[in-house]
Structure 1
Amino acid sequence: MPEITSVDVERMTSALFIEPGVRSPSFTKFWTLLVLAALIASAGVVGDSTATVIGAMIVAPLMTPILGSALAFVLVDRTHLVRSVLLVLCGSAAVVAVGYLVGWVAAPPDDFAGNSQVAARISPHLIDLVAALATGTAGAFALARTDVSDALPGVAIAISLVPPLAVTGLLLDVHRYHDAGQSALLFGTNVAAIIATGIAVFLAYRVRAAAAAAGRHVGRLRGRGLALVGALLVLVAVPLTVGTLSVTHDRQLAADAGPVARRWADGHGWEVEAVSARDGKVEITVVGLPPAPDPEGLRAALDGAGAGDAPLLLHVLGGDSLLCPAHGGQCKAAHTATVPNPAS
């Protein structure tokens, strides 16, 4: 592995450490680009435009203070560590605020229910942590190696920083608080992964020794700090694991309910158009000619197939949507597709 020189250390610190003050070019550049990226991301999410959201990822400068936090941690530079962390926190709050304001002006009537950009950022799973770890490693590697610095724009696109914060603000505006928390979790996952992998890469490249050779003060790196970073990764991994297990359960539930629903529908001369499951609730859409089939029979069939714990939301095209509680409860008309879980 090529060694980091004192020249490389100066290049990295000048690129990552943002000095405060309105007269600081790096400070004004950071805040200008951040606000613009927040506006672009919010507009892209509202318009459900992938290209616009990708543009926000390229413009967004949040990667700089996040990697700056990792470098300051490795050098035990408390001043720049505090500054970088504050920039990450204040910048994140600013993006959420911009998203909230954009949502206040332009939130759609369905509260982003059919928005693919929102849907992609409110169900973080363990695979998102794996992707964030790989992307954070690539970013730190590209920063340490001048011969691969051209990869940084690709890293900016791969890591999702500003868009989930914009989604958080937009969802807070329409009172979707749980989903807002999920998009914030995605952002926190990416931040934790970048910091952890950045620290690992900088240590592997012996940045501390190169900084000391360059005459910079390098503090003593304690094991407690590294343990704290590891605990941070574990902290975000726990809800991601829960989310992954929930999605796996929903997929299995939908797979088990599909054949049962089709046999039931075929017996009444109807067809199953869609079968899905979310948060432990089965949702089935059927289509056919009147009279509508008896939903109690479907509820009983699901109970017999081992899905008795799962509430059922049955959409009958041309008729009412029917909600059938778990454990064979009586089916009732549901006037909206979004209903409270009767099993809770």
Structure 2
Amino acid sequence: MRTIDWRDGRIVAVDQTGLPHDVRMLEIGTTAELVDAIKRLAIRGAPALGVAGALGVALAVRDEPEDRDRDIKALRAARPTAVNLAWGVDRALARLGDGPDAVLAEALEILEADVRDNRALARRGADWLLEHAAGPIDVQTHCNAGGLACVEWGTALGVLRVLRERGALGHVYVDETRPLLQGARLTTWELARLGIAHTLVVDAAGPSILARGLAGAVVVGADRVAANGDVINKVGTYPLALAAARAGAPFLVAAPESTIDPASPAGDAVEIEVRDPDELVHIGQTVVAPPGTATLNLAFDVTPADLVTAIVTERRLIRPARGERP
């Protein structure tokens, strides 16, 4: 099953707000519909957002020429922290002078390349882990960086899939990922479908999993990698990196080259998305805080480069903690 695809002139995508209980597909025919799906996280995950951005440009230049510039601007800004979205928009838009068919062809190439690239980085990540830890390797992960965050394979979970194929994966500890529970809802769903043994833990327990020696490595994805090697990922990643450093466990980031942003010199230059306060004070329909409670719903955090043992992409291995820069 592909998380996002192009079919009969429309974007078809898994509606990730329904998981794990309701597997339903969205059919998206306009850029406005796509922006809405991205903002409410029906479509999410950095590589998938890159594909969505490119396909959204194809929709805009084909069907909405009078509103094209406005709609593309709104699409590019729908999730400001994840650089892949703007990357996909800009790459497809660069073919505009060659006509709508060329724009669509570029978008479809981005879609197909995502599968190839993620398989390549997953193999590289598994190779590197096996050089630094004896299998079977027990791994901790945060948020969702599996097939649901990409087209069909996955970045961080792609690495785990390769380890499993090689008989080198032990147990996987999954952080719940408050407040929208991408770990609890999405990662556990994917791991169950793959038949990978896993245990769900609350976010606050994540560092203790490493301190107790239950996991020997951390593998996560990324929404942006700055030019100095700082990693911007789902909030809660930074504490895991601190705990991994204390425990002497490798901290591996699996992300395609499109996630590396040379225009951002360091993590503090990246806009961190602040989301709706209701996400913090509600669990489902249940209110869990008194009325009027102030909130700060940061969607991402910055892990400094010196805490990142390695970054694997489809092309290379980067070791920020040793001073290597993307």
TM-score by length of 2: 0.29
**Between Structure 1 and Structure 2, which shows a larger proportion of helix residues?**
1
**Whose Rg is larger?**
1
TM-score by length of 1: 0.28
